[in-house]
Each structure stands twice: as structure tokens, then as C-alpha cells.
Structure 1
Amino acid sequence: MSENGEEKLIAVARHIAKTLGHTDNAMADDILQIFSNFDGRLRNKLHDSLESDADPSRAVTRLDQALKSLDRQIGRYVTVDRPIWSDSADAVAFLDSVDELVNLIREWTPLAADKTVTVCLDRAEDLLQQVMFRLEEEFKLLMDSFDDVANDLSSVENDEEEEGEGEEEEEEIPVANVVSDYNVIIDALPSGVINDLHEISKRMVGAGYGKECSLAYSLCRREFLEESLCRLGFTGDGKVNVGLSDDDSEVEIDKWIKAINMAVRVFYPSERRLCDRVFGYSSGTAAAADLSFMEACRVSSMELLNFANGIAMGSKAPDRLFKILDVYEAVKDLMPEIEVLFADQYCLFIRNEAVGVWKRLGESIRGIFMELENLIRRDPAKAAVPGGGLHPITRYVMNYLRAACSRPTLEQVFDENVAPPVGVDRSLSSSSPLAVQMAWIMEVLESNLEAKSKIYRDPALSSVFMMNNGRYIVKKVKDDELGSLLGDDWVRKHSAKVRQYHVNYQRSSWNKILNALKLDNNNLSPNVASKGMKEKLKIFNSQFEDICRTQSTWAIFDEQLKEELKVSVGGNLLPAYRNFLVRFQNIQDIQKYADKHLKFSVEDVEARIDGLFQGTAVSGSGRK
């Protein structure tokens, strides 16, 4: 029978005795006999209770004697120098005395209105406080005595210490190589110790000292968790992006990713399990278990999240995208575990902070693309790329976007109801937000290239510049995730633009020569016809020489495009020049002057066309 049940039963019996006249000894004996038949232990309690009503001073005396007895019993343990739990018999006896003291206080608290009882209860509370302090001390001793189990994590973390020969030894925490299989639970304490801790926590929580017990637990376990993360190379000193080079920052992020995965998937679940075993699963101890878990994990979890938050709040430079994506993906992948681990009222702020960091990382990623747009817009149209070749910003942006779109996570980042940029192609309005963003950056890049093309004084070279960069863009989009995002219509549209640049080049560069080779169908006299043909040939020789000399230094990055241009030029020019020569050679008396006026044969023209576009196609470092 539970203690509460006994008290209620005794209270009912006392009420019956009073109602029937408890001064009648026969009646009292009858009541006692009935309850002793039910449970012999109740006879003594009820007898003492009835006596207490009859003689209050005698009852207080009995309470005083009980306190003195407990004081002597407990005093032997409270003042002893050695750990009580070093002897299991002492531990059991001490806990029994603690239980008696708690029961005594609970039994007499309803009579606290009596001043003499209050004095005794004050003494009992003082004794209880001493007992709780000693229990707290024993709790810490049990926790600390097995703290060295942290060194046994090598079997879990695959700890490998590197010893340098001929170097001075430094006192550093060895760094562990993290495991890839997180289906592991760490038994940080032996089962026997956990049972002892449970017995202590049950008494402390029951006596109203749950917070003190939780604090003792969390102080020990917090150090264990922080040291475990240090073994993985994560120090949690908060120096994110402060004085770190790009390489150092990448190393720190790699360490952080390993640390947060181990923390959320191994350390914290193991800690949750240990808390529940130490404090129990009952409703009365659940709050203490939750508080202990939160306090144990609070510092390390916030250090991990603060690191990620520092990454999110850092520079929006485009080259930081992939580092931030790594951090974003790590948090995203762990959110289901975080939601479960930190679901109680005490841990809610940790879960909310994790969600907030996750969102801020997404905002930072989207902000990077805004910064990329600004970077493209701000790229000055100062010096022209020699030979109309590929501009460095085209190569940078396209390779950047290809690498970015290879990360599936990026699409999820942009799927968070992001409004499309103003001015974007409306045909893409039904596409994914990421596709819209990519198309918009392409438009910004194309506008920037068009501004740069105006630097060239020669319209033909301007067209070559746009053709080079437009062809590069289309090639990078095709057969890539970018192409899947933007769609076939986008590719066809921009391929048509490249063809138009081709037409513009032909028109501005070769039409004048073709016009010079046009034959007059008018019936002119031989002398007039001869003079006209000579003048046309002279113009052709001069213009063709100039164009070939100039355009031989121009650049076409794509070999296929280069051949297409040569074939196109030859296909228009060679037939016209061949017909012109036939007509020229048929003029009367022209043969004796032919060598003087004919500078290029058909084969020479073909060879000179083949020598076009020999310049370096890419400005800056090697082409990719």
C-alpha cells in the first residue's frame, strides 16, 4: 500500500473513532483490531495517531525522539570523510534514514500550526538540508569517478593519436577521426553507477531538491560533451571568420560538420538516454530529467549553432556560397533529430535557435546570389578583351552557376516562396524559383556583355565578342543541370541570338567586299568595263588584305564555331570571287595586265580565310 493510501486510511479511521466516541477504549480497540486484521502495520500507526490526539505533548515528545534518533543515524554518514557509496551497506542504510526523515516531515507537516511541532519541523528541515547537500556531493562523486570513460571513446570515434618524433610534447586533447555510421549509443556510465545515481536523484527530487540534482548532473556531463567535441577538433571558441584564411575557414567548417553530426546523432541521444535512466521515467521526475538534459547540452549545442550562425551572418561574397551550402545542408539533414531531441519545454529554445540558424543560412545563400548580380553589374566596361575573345566574367559566372546548380539543396533554398526578380522573363514565371533566379542572372550577365561590346570600335569585332560569349553561355547550359532548370526553349532562344551575332558579323565585315565583286550587267564599252573591273579588283585587294590582317588576330574560343565562320565566309566569298575572275579574264586586252592587278588567286583567298581567328580566345588564365 502506498504511503498516501495509508495516510488516507488512518485519517478515515481517526474520523470514525472521533465520531463514535474515541474516548471509549473498547470502541478504539475494536477499530484497531479491524485495521490490524487488514494490515498489521496499520495498527501501530493508528494507535500512535489516536494517542497523539489524546495527548499532544506526548506526541511532540515522540516526534522529538524520532528526530534525535534520525539525527544520530544520519550524522554518522553526513560527517564521514570517505564516500558513503564506497560501501553498499552504508549507502542502503543512509537512504533508509533519508526515507524515514522525509516520511516524518510529510507526516507532521499537517500539524505545523502547533508551535512545538513547528520547532521540530524546522529541525527536521535543517537535517534534511544537510542530507541533501551530502546526497548532492555523493552524486557528484559518482559522476566524476567515472568521468574517465571519455577516454574510452576511441572505440566509437576511431581515435588515432599522432606522435611526432623529436618534437616537444604538448598537452593537447587528441583529435579523433569521426565514424560514418552514427547508429551508436554511448553507455557513458556503468549500469550499477546509474542505479545508484537513480536512487539519489529519486530522493532529491522527491524532497524538492530536483534543481540542485539537475545542476550537479549537468555540470559533470557538460564537461564530458565539450571534451568529446574537442576530440573531434571543434573548440567552440566562437572565432568564426575572424582572421581565418579561406583554407583555414574550410578546415574549420569540416571539423564543425563532423562535430555537429556526432553531437546530434550520437552524443545527445546517448545523453538523453542517460538522463532518463538516472532520473527515471515517471511523471514526477520527468521535469528534472528534461532540465538536466538541457543544461548538459546547452553550452555545446549553442556553440555549434553559434558557429553556423556566424557563417550565416558573414560576408555575402559569392565565393563563400559552397561553404555556406555545406553548413546549410548539415543543419537541414539534422533537423529531424533536433526536432525530436529538443522537444520538451526546457529545450525548446535550442530547437528554435536551430530553426532560426537554418533559415538565416538560407537567407545568406539567397543574399549571395543578389551580391553576384551586383558584382556582374558593377564589373566595369573599361578595357576590351583582345580579339573579341571570351570575357573572364562570362567564364567565372557560368562555371560558378554550373557548380552551384550541381547542389540539389540549392533548389530547396529557393523554394521558400521567394518572389521572382523584377524584369525577369515572364515565360519562366511557372518555373521553379531557382530557374527564375538563374535566368535573371543570365539576363544581367548578357546586359553587362552588351555594354562591354560597345567598347569595340569595329562592329564586326563587337559581334565576334558577343558571339564568343553567347556561344560559351549556351555550351555551359547544355547537357548540364542548368539546362534542365532553364529548359529547351531558353537554349533555343539564346542559340538564335548567337546565330544573329553571326549574321551581324558577316554583314558588317564582308558585305563591302561582296559588293565590290558584284558584276555590272549594263552593256558598257570594253574600255569602260575594263576600267571598272580594275577599280573593283583594286578595292577587293585592299579590303581583303586589311580584313585578313586584322581578323587573323581575332579569337574564336570554340573550334566548331571557328570552322562554321570560316565555311560561312568562304561559302559567300569564294563563288563571288571566282565569278568575278572569270568575267575579269574575259575582258579584251586584259590578259597582259592580269599579273599586275590579280593579287590573290582563288586558292590564295581560301588560304587567307583559313588563317582567320588565330588569336588567343580567352582573356586571363587558361580556358575551362
Structure 2
Amino acid sequence: MPIKGMRSLLFSPKVSASTSTSTSPSVSHFPLPSRFGFSPSKPSFSESVMNRTLEMADPIIMKWNPETTTFAKVTSLFYDNRKEAFDFVKWVKNLQKAMQLFITGNSNSEKLVGAQNLMQIAMKRLQKEFYQILSMNRAHLDPESVSTRSSRTSIHSSISDYGDEDDDDIRIVKESITEVEDASSIAMADLKLIADCMISCGYAKECLKIYTIIRKSIVDEGIFKLGVEKFSASKVHKMDWNALELRINNWLNAVRTAVKTLFNGEKILCDHVFASSDSIRESCFNEITKEGAMILFGFPQNVAKNSKKSPEKVFRILDMYTGISDRWPEIDSIFSFSSTTTIKSRALTSLVSLGEYVRTALYVFESDILKDSSKSPVAGAGIHNLTIDVMNYLSALSDYSNILSDILVDSPPPVNNSEPESYFGFTDSVESPAQPITRHMAWLILVLLRKLDVKAKYYKDVSLSYLFLANNLQYVVVKVRASNIKNLLGDDWLSKHDSKVQQFAATYERLGWSLVTNSLPRDPMAVRTREQVKEIFKKFNSLFDQVYRKQSVCVVLDSKLRDVIKLRLARKIFRGYQAFYNAHSVSMQRERNSTTVVRFAPEDVGHRLSSLFFSSNNTM
């Protein structure tokens, strides 16, 4: 305290007799001069300050000594009389300043020993008060209440916008919000007042011990209630996936609440209570949160390191990666102290492990595509189960494109540069590099298409091979267009593969129906003789019957592709036959057994072509 302040303290009016009598029974039992060794000689300035401080501080401190009065033992100073509590803290601080001024050259003074004893009594009282406030206000000082105080203030303001309506519900809400805010604010202010006093008086260790014991128990309890447990590596390795997935789901919910509420609330409270000391704030927050945070952020690493790298489990792993990466700015801010670096390191290590899991699982997925050994042709040249499984998987995977770009940035797929660009599907240049997930997605689709090329060769009828390729590539294109893969691969990729579908379909039409289309003359009127006409009708009848029976088992599940193929066939077969029929059917009716020569009317041909490519399951 400055000299001017000490003088004002020294020459302030004395406490009245009534005050001294009511504050402490110790005053009458121990007259101050004899109790603190006051000298009858003229005191020095520091002695005068000490004498005056002891005279004022002793009654209020001794009144709240739990070892001398039952009242002090069962009553809370801050709860019973807040004004007296503030006076108590003020005189404890004054006592500390007086001791600092007096200690020079008087280290062995009986008066200094007495002041120190009084200080210890005061500190025990403040420790008790500190503990009581923390214990009795657990509900008002829970991390959620602390971390959302500003939110409550906003709600309170918005409710006030309704005006002074005589509405019981609004009144009750206002009162409850105000009550919670007041209780939380008062408790936080009292804790800070006590902490500041104890730290300034050299009792930081005692204050910190109480705080960490109580608040650490709250954090640990919070982590447990969120369903996060500490598992050994061997236990995770042996755990059934369904059981592990349940714990992963618990973790996903827990990490959101823990970061936003639990750790954030503790940081706010700790920063407020120990605002007077950066080092204490840091030490305290680290001590409170380290164990719980290490369990929380260590769980993903444990899962990633000790679980089988399986493609179907990737989505849960990606969810965990997202759970940390999306909250990294908050994690980085909350655990900003140098002593909490190990917590952030644990979170980053988990991210690395999760990323390694995903990369490995994707290589396993690619390997599974290549290893597919089914050789039985799909009935009707329809869509292969491999195509369905792969595209469903990639469609779901594309929803994590941003995360996957981070994970795959340093692990590009082994693209075979010998493949023509039209087959791979997109341009990746130095001037315009593709995202890692784009390259990987295009590569996995290419691996699938290569595998489908191999499977197409299992058809004995080459035309069915091309219909199989058209069906499956169309399925791929439709799935790409309907999912986030479209945003990754782009319109150019879709355009190139759409063209490829049309090429496969055209090849199928040519190989599958060329015998029928070639049986009809380009110019119906160029046929002159009845024998030639009769021969053309008979040939068409036979070939159309034969090809139709073979192709009637085929399916085209995509309605647009089905309509395109049927329209092309109608143009080539129906129109050609209709023109020839119109030119020669009348002359053929004069022939004996004309019905065996002209077996089909144009409408019959049209109906048969229209009925092609349907099955009991003709939707994609």
C-alpha cells in the first residue's frame, strides 16, 4: 500500500465500543496491547500501521474463527453477511500489506508472529468459504451454465422485447433466468474475490488444491456421464464391432458436448476465478481437464490402431475424424496454454491415426474390387452386384469429400498413365490440379469399369457383353449424377461417360440386331419379282423370330436408356419392315398360304419391340 494509503489507515476513526463488543469475544479476553506486544514507546510508522491494522482486523477475523465459536463453525460468512464478507477480505489484504511494510528489520517481532497467526486463521476461514461456495453452487457453476451465460443474457433480452405483458409464463421464465444468472454471477464473483485474496497473501497452493479437487471431479464425472470410458488397446482389439460402434456413437455425442460445454465452461470459470495469475490459471486448468481430455481425445486413436481396417467401418472412422477436425479451432483455443500442449497433441495423434485407417481401408476396398472372382454372367445382361455395391459405397463416401481431401492429400492413387483420357474421365494437369478425393474417386470407378470389362467377356453372345457394359456404365453415371460425386468429377466426366454408354448401346444394337436389319432392302421398290419378295418376307420372319427370342431375355433397368435403345431399333427395324410390308403385302395375299409368308403385320413387329428389355425389377 502507498505511504498515503497507510497514513489514511493509521489516522482513520477508531471502531466504536458497540462494534468491538459485537464482533468478537476475543477482544475483551485479550487486550490488544498485551496480546500483540504493543510497545509503550513511540512507535515507528510501520509499527503504527501494524498496530492500527491489527486493531481493525482482529475483531472481524476472530469472529469467524471456527475453532473459537460454534456460530463460525456452522455458518457461511459469504452467505450470512455479504457486506461483512467484503470487509473481511479487505482487512485481510490490509493485514498482508501491513506485514510487508513491517517485516523489514522486524522479522523476529512478537507482533509479526501474532499478525501471522491471525493471517493463518483468516486463510483457514477463506479456505472453508471457498470450499463451501464451490460445493454448494455445483448446479450454478456447472460447465453448461457457465459456458452459456452469454446465451442466457441474449434470451433474457429477447424476452424483454415482449414488453410488460401480464403473462405468467413470460414472468416465470424471466424470473428463472434472472435467478440462475444471479446465482452463477455471485458465486463466480465470490470465488474470484477469495482467490485474489489468498493468492496475494501467499496461499495460492491451498486455494488451488481445493479448486482442482472439486472441479476435476466435475469434469471426470461429466466425461463418464457422456459415456466415454478408458479402454485398453487389447480390449478394443477384442471388442465386437457392434459393441464398439455403440461406444463410437457415444463418443461422437460426447466430443461435441465436451468441447462446447464441459471444457469451454471450465476454461471460462478458471479464467475468471484466477484472473490475477496466468501461471495459476494455466496450472489449474491443466490439472482439472487433462485426465478427462486425454481419455476423450485418445479413444479415436485406440479405435484406429486396434480395429481391423475394414471398408464398411470407414464411415464411423470418418465421423470421428470429423468430430475432432470440425472442432479443432475450439480445441486449439480452449487448450491454448503451453501446459495443455499434450492434450492437443493427443487430439492430433488421433487425427493422424484415423487418417491412416481411412487410407488403408480404401486400399482394401480397391483390392476387394480387383479380387472379385464371380464369373457367372448376370441374367439378361443386367447390373452386376459389384457395380451396385461399389457405387453405393462411393456415393456415401462422397459425402465426406472435404475430410477425405485432407486425408488423401499425401497419398494419390496409382493412376495408370497408359489409360486414354477418355476412359479415365477427367483432366489433371499442373495448371489445374484435381483435388485428391477427385483423383481417388475417379480411380476407384476406373478400377470398377476395368473389372466389368473382364466380366463382360463371360457372355458367349458378344452383343450381350455390350448390353451388359451399357447397363452397368449407365448405372454408374446415374449414381454419380445423383450424388456428391458429380461435384467432384464434374460435367466433363459425365459427358464422356454418357457418350461411352451410347457407344456400348449402339454396338449392342449392331451386333444383336444386324441380321434382322440387313434382311430388309434399303429400297423396298427395288425388289421386282415375287420370288424375291417372298424370300425376303420368309427370311425376315425367321431372323426376327430367332433374334427376338434371344434378346427377349435381356433387361435394361434404366428407363431412359431403355427408351433410347427401343427407339433406335424401331427406326431401323419397324420402319424398314413397314415400308417393305406396305409395298408388297397386297401382292403376297394372292399367294397360296400367304399367312405363312407374311407372318407379321407392322403393328406386330412394333408390339414385340416395345415389349423388349422389361423385367420384374426394371427400376434403378
Scaled to the shorter chain, the TM-score interval is: 0.5 to 0.7
2:385 aligned with 1:392: yes
Q: Residue 321 of structure 1 contacts residue 368 of structure 1 at CA under 8 Å; is this kept in 2? A: yes
Aligned mate of 1:273, from 268, 271, 279? 268
1:135-214 equivalences in 2 (<5 Å) = 139-149=130-140, 193-194=187-188, 197-198=191-192, 201-202=195-196, 205=199, 210-211=204-205, 213-214=207-208
Deviations 1:53-84 (A, max 9, x none): xxxxxxxxxxxxxxxx9xx9899756988368
Q: Residue 228 of structure 2 contacts residue 254 of structure 2 at CA under 8 Å; is this kept in 1? A: no
Distance 1:142-1:607 versus aligned 2 partners, 3 A rule: closer
Corresponding residue number in structure 2 for 1:571: 571
- Provide the C-alpha distance between the structure 1 equivalents of 2:145 and 2:184, rounded to a whole number of angstroms: 17
- Provide the C-alpha distance between the structure 2 equivalents of 1:348 and 1:321, rounded to a whole number of angstroms: 29
Corresponding residue number in structure 2 for 1:222: 216
Q: CA deviation at 1:290?
A: 1.3
Q: Residue 381 of structure 1 contacts residue 451 of structure 1 at CA under 8 Å; is this kept in 2? A: no
Q: Residue 588 of structure 2 contacts residue 594 of structure 2 at CA under 8 Å; is this kept in 1? A: no
Q: CA deviation at 1:357?
A: 3.0
Corresponding residue number in structure 1 for 2:406: 413
Aligned mate of 1:461, from 460, 464, 468? 464
Number of aligned residue pairs: 528
Q: Give SS of 1:380's match.
A: coil
What TM-score do the two structures reach when normalised by structure 1?
0.67
Distance 1:210-1:606 versus aligned 2 partners, 3 A rule: same
- Provide the C-alpha distance between the structure 1 equivalents of 2:448 and 2:287, rounded to a whole number of angstroms: 51
Q: Give SS of 1:592's match.
A: coil
- Provide the C-alpha distance between the structure 1 equivalents of 2:185 and 2:563, rounded to a whole number of angstroms: 79
- Provide the C-alpha distance between the structure 1 equivalents of 2:459 and 2:440, rounded to a whole number of angstroms: 30
Corresponding residue number in structure 1 for 2:172: none
Q: Residue 194 of structure 1 contacts residue 277 of structure 1 at CA under 8 Å; is this kept in 2? A: yes
Amino acid at match of 2:137: F
Corresponding residue number in structure 1 for 2:474: 471
Unmatched tracts of structure 1, length 5 or more: 7-40, 49-68, 159-183
Aligned mate of 2:327, from 325, 329, 334? 334
- Provide the C-alpha distance between the structure 2 equivalents of 1:263 and 1:476, rounded to a whole number of angstroms: 38
Q: Residue 290 of structure 1 contacts residue 346 of structure 1 at CA under 8 Å; is this kept in 2? A: yes
Distance 1:135-1:575 versus aligned 2 partners, 3 A rule: closer
The share of aligned pairs that are identical, in percent, is: 28
Distance 1:152-1:262 versus aligned 2 partners, 3 A rule: closer
1:361-376 equivalences in 2 (<5 Å) = 361-376=354-369
- Provide the C-alpha distance between the structure 1 equivalents of 2:131 and 2:549, rounded to a whole number of angstroms: 89
What TM-score do the two structures reach when normalised by structure 2?
0.67
- Provide the C-alpha distance between the structure 2 equivalents of 1:396 and 1:448, rounded to a whole number of angstroms: 13
Q: CA deviation at 1:443?
A: 0.4
Amino acid at match of 2:610: D
Corresponding residue number in structure 1 for 2:443: 440
Corresponding residue number in structure 1 for 2:394: 401
Aligned-CA RMSD value: 5.3
Corresponding residue number in structure 2 for 1:351: 344
2:279 aligned with 1:287: yes
Q: Residue 402 of structure 1 contacts residue 480 of structure 1 at CA under 8 Å; is this kept in 2? A: yes
Deviates more, 1:377-386 or 1:94-103: 94-103
Corresponding residue number in structure 2 for 1:610: 610
Corresponding residue number in structure 2 for 1:52: none
Distance 1:101-1:79 versus aligned 2 partners, 3 A rule: farther
1:311-330 equivalences in 2 (<5 Å) = 312-313=304-305, 314-330=307-323
Q: CA deviation at 1:613?
A: 1.7
Q: Residue 102 of structure 1 contacts residue 128 of structure 1 at CA under 8 Å; is this kept in 2? A: no
Deviations 1:190-213 (A, max 9, x none): 555555544654565457664554
Q: Residue 212 of structure 2 contacts residue 288 of structure 2 at CA under 8 Å; is this kept in 1? A: yes
Q: CA deviation at 1:550?
A: 2.4
2:297 aligned with 1:301: no
Unmatched tracts of structure 2, length 5 or more: 7-41, 50-57, 152-177, 418-423
Q: CA deviation at 1:268?
A: 2.9
- Provide the C-alpha distance between the structure 2 equivalents of 1:145 and 1:578, rounded to a whole number of angstroms: 96
